[in-house]
Structure 1
Amino acid sequence: MFSVREFRPIFAAHVLSILGSVFAEVALAVLVFRQTGSALLTSLIFALTFLPYALSGVLLSGISDRYPARRVLVACDLLSAACVAVMAVPGTPLAVLFVLRITVSMLSPLFTGTRAASLADILDGDLYILGRSLVRIVSQTSQIVGFGIGGLVLVWLSPRGALCVTTGTFLLSALLLRFGTVDRPARRSGTGALMRESIASAGELLAHPRIRALLLMWWVPPTFFAVAEGVAVPFADAAGAGTLGFGVFLAAMPVGTVASEVLAGTLLGPAARDRIAVPLAAVSLLPMAAFAMRPPLPVAIVLLLCTGLCAAYALGMDKWFVDEVPEDKRGQAMSLMGAGIMTLQGMGMATGGAVAELAPPYVVICGGGMVGTVSVLGVLRSVRRTRTGVMSPA
C-alpha cells in the first residue's frame, strides 16, 4: 500500500485528522467544564461527536460525488481548521463553541466518505480492502491511546493551546491532500438543489435491496457494541474497579478489533476473508450475551476482547460494498455508511446508559448482546438473499 505514492499523504492526513479530533474533544471538554462546572454540558461535547452525523450524512453527502474529491477534502480540512481556530480565541461564548463543534462534526462524515471513495480510485483490488482496514485500525487505536495522549498534551498546554495544535493538524492535513494527491474530476455532474439531490440519491441507495442490506450490516453490530461502552462506568464501579480497571474495560473491544483486522489482513487471502465474514458477524455479539453469568471484571474484559476479535468481518464487507455501489454514487454511499455507524453508536451508548438506570449494568450488556445477535442474524439473511447484480448508475 505504501508503495502507492498517493496513499502515503492520504494516510498521513488521516493520522493528523484523528489526532486533531482527539485533541479538540479533550481540550473542549476541559474548557467547558472549567467555564461551567457542569457535567451535563461537558458530556454534550462528546455527544456532539455523534449527533450531527445523521443530518450531514443525508443532506450533504451528495457533495462527495458532485465535486472533485481533492477539493472536497481540502475544503473540509480548511473549514474545520477555521472553526477550531475561532474556538481557541479567548472569550468565545459557550453557545458559539457548541455551534462550531456541531459544524466540525457535520464536516466529518463528508470528509471520511469522500476519503473512503478516493481510496477505491487510488488502490486497486485487495489493496483497497487492506487500505480501508489500515484506516480503521488507526481509528480504533486512537480510542486506545488517543485520549491518553490528549490528556498528556494538556499537562503542558492550556485547553486553548491544545485547540491551536488542532488547528495546525487540520491545516497540515489540507496541505498534504492538496499537494500529495491527484486532482480527479467529479464522479457525477449535477445542477439541481444539492440537498434535494443528496436526499434523493440517499433514497435510491436505501431502496436498493442489496445495498440496504449491506448498510444495515455496517450499522447494526456497532449499535449494540456501543451498549457496553455506554455502561462501562457503572459496570466498572459495580465491580469495585478504579479508573485503571475502567480504562482497560473500555479499551478491550478496540484492542480486539485492531488485532482481528491485523491478523486477517496479514494471514488470510481475499477468498478466506470473504468466507469468514458472515460467521464472524453472526457470533460477534455472543460474548456480550455471556454477561448473563455476571462475570468478574477480568472475565468481562476477556469477553469484550472476544467481541472485538470478531471485527475481521469488516474486510469482507468492504469488498462486497465497493463492488455493489456504482462509481458515481460511491462517495455518497461511503458518507451515508459512516454517518449511520456514528449516529447509531451514539444512540446505542445513550440507550445503554438510560436502561442502566433501571437494571444492573451486566444485565444491560447481556440484553444488548442477545437482542443484537437476533438483529444481526436477521440482517445476515438479507445479505445472503440479495446477492444480485450491481446497482445501475443514474
Structure 2
Amino acid sequence: MAGTRPPALAEEPSATRGRASPPAGGEARGEGAVEGTDTGTGTGGGEARDGYGRVFAVREFRVVFVAHALSLLGVVVSEIALTVLVYDLTGSPLLSALAFALGMLPYLVGGTLFAGVADRYPPRRVLVVCDLVCAGCAALMALPATPVAGLLALRCLIAAVSPVFNGTRMATLTDVLGDGDLFVLGRSLLRMVSQSAVLVGFGLGGVLLTVVSPRGALVITLVTFLASALLLRTGTKRRPARGGARGSGGGDAALLRYSLAGAREVLGHRRIRALLLLLWAPPMFVVAPEALAAPYAEQIGVGTAGVGLLMCAMPVGTIAGEVYAGSALSPATRSRIVLPLAATTLLPLLAYAFVPGLAWALPALVLAGAGAAYTLGLDRWFVDAVPPELRGRAMTVHTAGLMTLQGVGMALAGLAAEFFAVSTVVAGAGALGTVCCLLLVREVWLTGRAGANALPNSETGADRYVTGG
C-alpha cells in the first residue's frame, strides 16, 4: 500500500513513472512461461515452498524486472531533479510542489482516453514506445533552453503515458507468467521494488544532486528509460494485440471510442468494479499519515529525523507483509485472508487518536503497511474476473484509478489538516476508510457467487462464469 509515493512509484499499489494473458483454453503463454497451477485448494505444498524463486526462473520475467528497476531509478532521480530545478528557476515553493503533483494529476486522463492502446497494439511495441516517449521528454527537460512551462508540460506528458505503460506491463505479466499464482508473485515483486525505491531512492537522489546539476540528473533519467526500452525490445517476446480484429484500424477517434468502451465495460461489470474499488480504497485512506508526516512530527515535537522515520515505516511494513505472504503462504491461504485483512488494514491508524509518540506511531504504520498483503489474493481474483481481451484496458484503468484516488486522498488529508489536528485527521481517515472497506468487502463477497460473475463470452455470446470470491 503506498502512501505519498512518487507517481511513478504508485504502481502497485502505490507505485513509478507511473507505469506499469493467456486466452482461455490453455493457449501458449509465451516463451519461458510457466503454468500457474493454483487450484485454490492447496495448503502450502510445492507452490508455496519455492515462493518467489519460481518467478525468477522465468527468463522473460527477469528482463521485465530489471527494466522495471531501471525505470524506477530514472523516475526517482527525475522527481527530485525536476522539483529542485523548478525551484532554482522560479524561487516558488508552489511551482516546485506543482512539478511533483503534475506527475499524478494526468493519470485519470491518460488511463481513460488512452486505455485502448494496451489492447489495440502489440504489447511489446506499446512498452517500448512508452519508454521512448518518456526518454524524449527527459531529453527535452535536460536542455538548458526549456522554460519552466515546458518542464511542467513535459511532466504532464510522462504522467499521461504512465498508466498505459503500467496497464500494458501488468497485462503482459499474464502472458509471461500465466494468470495463476506466478502472476500474483510477479506483481508482488514489482510492488516491492517500488516500495524499496521509495526507501532508498530519495536519499541517493539527494546525494547525486551534490555531484551533478538537476539537468545533469535528468540525463541519467534519459539513459535509464533508453536502457529499459532496449531490454524490453530485445528480451521479451513479440505477441499480437489482445483486442484482435476489434482493436485494429480506425484512427484516433476509433481509439478513443475503444478506450472509453473498455472503461465502461470494466466499470460496468459488478464483480470487476467491486474488486477495483477494494484495490483502490485502502491506498486512498492510508496516504494520510505519510502526506501529513511533517506536520505530525511537529505536533509531537520529534523534528526532521522523525519525519523520515514516519515516512519509512509504512513501506517497511508493506515489504515485510508481501514477502511473508508471497513466500510462506499457499495460494489458498492468501485467498482466505483477502477479505479479513482488507477489512482491518486501516484500523492501526486509529492509534493516532491518542496522539502517539514515535514509539507507538511507527508500529501502527508498519502494521497498516503490512495489511497490503491482501492485494496478493485480490490480484488473482481480479485477473480471473477480467476476460483476456479486456485485460490491458482493465489494468490501465486500475493504475489510473489507484493514482488518482491516492492524489485525492492526499489532497483531502491536507485540506482537513487546515481545520483539525493532524492526529485527528489520520485517525478519522482510519475510521472512515475502515467503514468504506467493510462495505466493499461485503460487495466483493456477494459478487463472489457465480451468478454475479457472468461475463459475456466474446466468441460465442454466451455467459462465461468466473469465480474467485
TM-score category (smaller protein) = over 0.9
User: Could you tell me how far apart the structure 2 residues matched to 1:49 and 1:145 are?
Assistant: 20
Partner of 1:267: 328
Q: CA deviation at 1:390?
A: 5.3
Unaligned runs of 5+ in 2: 1-54, 459-469
Partner of 2:455: 391
Q: Deviations over 1:297-321 (max 9, x none)?
A: 2211111111011111000011000
Partner of 2:424: 363
Q: CA deviation at 1:280?
A: 0.8
Superposed, 1:130-209 pairs within 5 Å as 130-188=185-243, 189=245, 190=247, 191-192=249-250, 193-209=254-270
Partner of 1:246: 307
User: Could you tell me how far apart the structure 2 residues matched to 1:39 and 1:302 are?
Assistant: 32
Contact kept in structure 2, 1:325 and 1:390, CA below 8 Å: no
Contact kept in structure 2, 1:9 and 1:181, CA below 8 Å: yes
1:94 aligns with 2:148: yes
Q: Deviations over 1:181-240 (max 9, x none)?
A: 000000013234111211111011111000000010111111001122221111011111
- What amino acid does structure 1 have at the position aligned with 2:123? A
User: Could you tell me how far apart the structure 2 residues matched to 1:349 and 1:62 are?
Assistant: 29
Q: CA RMSD in A?
A: 1.0
User: Could you tell me how far apart the structure 2 residues matched to 1:329 and 1:393 are?
Assistant: 11
Contact kept in structure 1, 2:352 and 2:423, CA below 8 Å: yes
Contact kept in structure 1, 2:300 and 2:355, CA below 8 Å: no
Unaligned runs of 5+ in 1: none
Alignment partner of 1:391: what SS?
strand
Contact kept in structure 2, 1:323 and 1:390, CA below 8 Å: no
User: Could you tell me how far apart the structure 2 residues matched to 1:150 and 1:310 are?
Assistant: 29
Q: Deviations over 1:227-258 (max 9, x none)?
A: 22221111011111222210110111111000
1:350 corresponds to which of 395, 405, 411: 411
1:35 corresponds to which of 89, 96, 100: 89
Which protein has the bigger helix share? 1
1:116 aligns with 2:191: no
Partner of 2:126: 72
User: Could you tell me how far apart the structure 2 residues matched to 1:259 and 1:390 are?
Assistant: 36
User: Could you tell me how far apart the structure 1 residues matched to 2:104 and 2:444 are?
Assistant: 26
User: Could you tell me how far apart the structure 1 residues matched to 2:456 and 2:234 are?
Assistant: 34
Partner of 2:318: 257
Under a length normalisation based on structure 2, what TM-score does the superposition of the two structures give? 0.83
Alignment partner of 2:456: what SS?
coil
Q: CA deviation at 1:393?
A: 4.4
User: Could you tell me how far apart the structure 2 residues matched to 1:243 and 1:158 are?
Assistant: 25
Seen in structure 2, the aligned counterparts of structure 1 residues 202 and 16 have a Cα distance that, compared at 3 Å, is same
Contact kept in structure 2, 1:286 and 1:370, CA below 8 Å: yes
Q: Deviations over 1:12-67 (max 9, x none)?
A: 00001111111111000010111111111111122112111111111001100000
User: Could you tell me how far apart the structure 1 residues matched to 2:100 and 2:337 are?
Assistant: 34
User: Could you tell me how far apart the structure 2 residues matched to 1:194 and 1:46 are?
Assistant: 29
Partner of 2:34: none
1:217 aligns with 2:271: no
User: Could you tell me how far apart the structure 1 residues matched to 2:207 and 2:97 are?
Assistant: 20
Seen in structure 2, the aligned counterparts of structure 1 residues 253 and 390 have a Cα distance that, compared at 3 Å, is farther
Contact kept in structure 2, 1:324 and 1:390, CA below 8 Å: no
Aligned length: 394
> Which portions of structure 1, spanning 4 or more consecutive aligned residues, are displaced by more than 3 angstroms?
none
User: Could you tell me how far apart the structure 1 residues matched to 2:398 and 2:454 are?
Assistant: 17
User: Could you tell me how far apart the structure 1 residues matched to 2:268 and 2:194 are?
Assistant: 30
User: Could you tell me how far apart the structure 1 residues matched to 2:454 and 2:193 are?
Assistant: 30
Between 231-240 and 184-193, the greater mean CA deviation after superposition? 184-193
User: Could you tell me how far apart the structure 1 residues matched to 2:280 and 2:455 are?
Assistant: 20
User: Could you tell me how far apart the structure 2 residues matched to 1:4 and 1:230 are?
Assistant: 37
